[in-house]
Amino acid sequence: MAAPEYLAPESIDALVAALAAHAPGEVRALAGGTDLIVQMRAGVRRPRRIVDLKRVPDFTRIALSDSEIRIGAAVPAAQIVEHPTLSGLIPGLVEAVDLIGSTQIQGRATLGGNLCNASPAADTVPALVALDARCRIVGPKGERELAVADVVTGPGATSLGAAETVCEFLVARPGAHSRDAYLRLIPRSEMDIAVAGAGVSLTLDAKGICTQARVALGAVGPTVLLVGAAADALVGSAVDDAALGAVQAACSAAARPIDDKRGTVSYRRTVAGVLTSRAARIAADRARQRRN
């Protein structure tokens, strides 16, 4: 592999200029490199230039306000996992981040890379979609916001334009009775790709009745699947066994998995349903117990 040119700009303007100077196939943004460097070593990607995102301040900060949580797209996973407040507010996203690879990988891997690598099995994407997260995108035409759910268009493909990058993720700060959860199943105890992943976020009222829910599945379709029928089964319920059974059935029915060495279609459908009902139960328990 011929060594590509390496640039590390320190502002958004310089970043966009560095990315825009080459044709899209010849330049690549670099965050933690835990996907990109592996792909370059395998010869799957051969960029002439790589542009490091980690010196641009908006990409590397975590900021919380009364209404919003902002997480830079190039913040390392370890920093998210160890943050003093995030695991209390958005435990599902933090547990998804904490499932990525190993301690070493988490020192490098980022949310932006996990999303933009566009693997159907990426762990943080269902958790982000369940939270209805949005991303701030910067590029040659300025800035725009896009739902995370609309970034990945298929395996390895995104809707980002030339020289566009995801700068940060925006999540509405959950109220006292809103919480999330993420579960995945892998064939080994660690360092493997999900057979299925399930993210759930929900809100309970003072009586414990669910007033809002989002349910997202990973690894059982070309992109993350938002399962409206499962959310409908939760809303209006006390998140009891009947509702969880309906969630399970809705998710098994919605899953569109492939057969591969990690599982058959039928196994993945079953796992997707079981994981989601368990994640919904965990999210509801958290919403009942936790206070901001």
Ligand X SMILES: Cc1cc2nc3c(=O)[nH]c(=O)nc-3n(C[C@H](O)[C@H](O)[C@H](O)COP(=O)(O)OP(=O)(O)OC[C@H]3O[C@@H](n4cnc5c(N)ncnc54)[C@H](O)[C@@H]3O)c2cc1C
**Is the CB of residue 198 less than 8 Å from the CB of residue 96?**
no
Q: Is 36 in the site for ligand X (CB under 6 A)?
A: yes
Name which of 135 and 282 has its Cβ closer to ligand X.
135
- Shortest Cβ distance from residue 93 to ligand X (Å)? 12
Q: Is 44 in the site for ligand X (CB under 6 A)?
A: no
| Range list of H helices, the chain | 12-20, 36-41, 77-81, 86-89, 91-98, 103-106, 111-116, 124-130, 228-234, 241-254, 265-289
Segment near ligand X (CB under 6 A); pick from 23-31, 172-180, 224-232, 268-276 = 23-31
How many CB atoms sit inside 10 A of residue 40's CB? 18
How many CB atoms sit inside 10 A of residue 98's CB? 18
Task: Give the residue closest to ligand X by C-beta.
Answer: 113
Joined together, the tokens standing for residue 28 give 């690549």
Q: Mask of contacts with ligand X, 69-108, x by CB under 6 A? A: ----x-------------------------xxx---x--x
**Is the CB of residue 163 less than 8 Å from the CB of residue 20?**
yes
Among 4, 33, 174, 199, binds ligand X (CB under 6 A): 33
Name which of 219 and 231 has its Cβ closer to ligand X.
219
Among 117, 178, 201, 277, binds ligand X (CB under 6 A): 117
**Is the CB of residue 77 less than 8 Å from the CB of residue 86?**
no
* C-alpha atoms less than 13 angstroms from C-alpha of 124 in its C-beta half-sphere: 27
CA distance 93 to 256: 23
Distance of CA 40 to the CA centre of its chain: 23
How many CB atoms sit inside 10 A of residue 202's CB? 28
Name which of 56 and 244 has its Cβ closer to ligand X.
56
Q: Is 262 in the site for ligand X (CB under 6 A)?
A: no
Joined together, the tokens standing for residue 16 give 């966009």
Name which of 104 and 292 has its Cβ closer to ligand X.
104
Segment near ligand X (CB under 6 A); pick from 16-24, 158-166, 209-217, 230-238 = 158-166
Interface residue list for ligand X (CB under 6 A): 28-36, 38, 53, 73, 99-101, 105, 108-110, 112-114, 116-117, 122-123, 160, 165-166, 191
